[in-house]
């Protein structure tokens, strides 16, 4: 008898789109009922690849800072494309050694292989041309560079 799990297909990661987001300085909100909270304003940016557009100012990343310095990422922002609006939702984690995390917080350049920064990205849109993006799961490998976050999102196939 075949094991049910052996019949599942192996996942594939297919590059889908690249995002560059410019961020403002974090605002520390202190320790809330959810944990140590800070918010990072999203000032704008670009999305290119399977979809091309401008990321609008007004988004936010609501972060939870864990005791070891690991960040819980919870970002929501919008973009305008030729086909219509997009809403992007990125949930994930950024972690590393205390030294690396301190360097990132100071805005110093840190090679992305020295820390772990991954998100799951969901796309929402009213534009029929973006329907395929809404029926897929995307995982992203991310990097922080000064006042910007860059990531490549991969469609999980």
Domain CATH number, residue 152: 2.40.160.20
| 8 Å CB contact between 41 and 77 | no
Question: Helix %, strand %, coil % for the chain, to 5?
Answer: 10, 55, 30
| pLDDT digit string, tens, across residues 18-56 | 999 999 999 999 999 989 999 999 999 999 999 999 999
Q: Secondary structure of 120-134 in the HEC alphabet? A: EEEEECCCHHHCHHH
The dihedral sign for the CA sequence 72, 46, 107, 77? negative
In this model, does residue 135 exceed pLDDT 90?
A: yes
In this model, does residue 1 exceed pLDDT 70?
A: no
Find the DSSP H helices in the chain: 98-105
Domain membership of residue 42 (yes or no) is yes
Containing structural domain, residue 49: 20-156
Domain membership of residue 2 (yes or no) is no
In the chain, how many domains are there? 1
Domain membership of residue 69 (yes or no) is yes
């Amino acid at each position: 008898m075949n094991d049910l799990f052996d019949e599942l297909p192996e996942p594939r990661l297919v590059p889908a789109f690249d995002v560059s987001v410019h961020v403002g300085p974090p605002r520390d909100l202190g320790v809330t009922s959810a944990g140590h909270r800070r918010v990072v304003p999203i000032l704008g940016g670009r999305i290119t690849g399977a979809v091309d557009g401008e990321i609008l100012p007004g988004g936010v990343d609501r972060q939870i800072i864990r005791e070891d310095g690991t960040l819980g990422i919870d970002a929501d922002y919008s973009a305008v494309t030729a086909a219509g609006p997009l809403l992007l939702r990125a949930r994930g984690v950024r972690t590393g050694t205390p030294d690396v995390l301190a360097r990132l917080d100071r805005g110093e350049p840190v090679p992305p292989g020295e820390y772990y920064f991954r998100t799951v990205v969901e796309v929402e849109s009213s534009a029929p041309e973006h329907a395929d993006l809404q029926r897929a799961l995307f995982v992203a490998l991310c990097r922080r560079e000064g006042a910007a976050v860059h990531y490549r999102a991969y469609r999980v196939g």
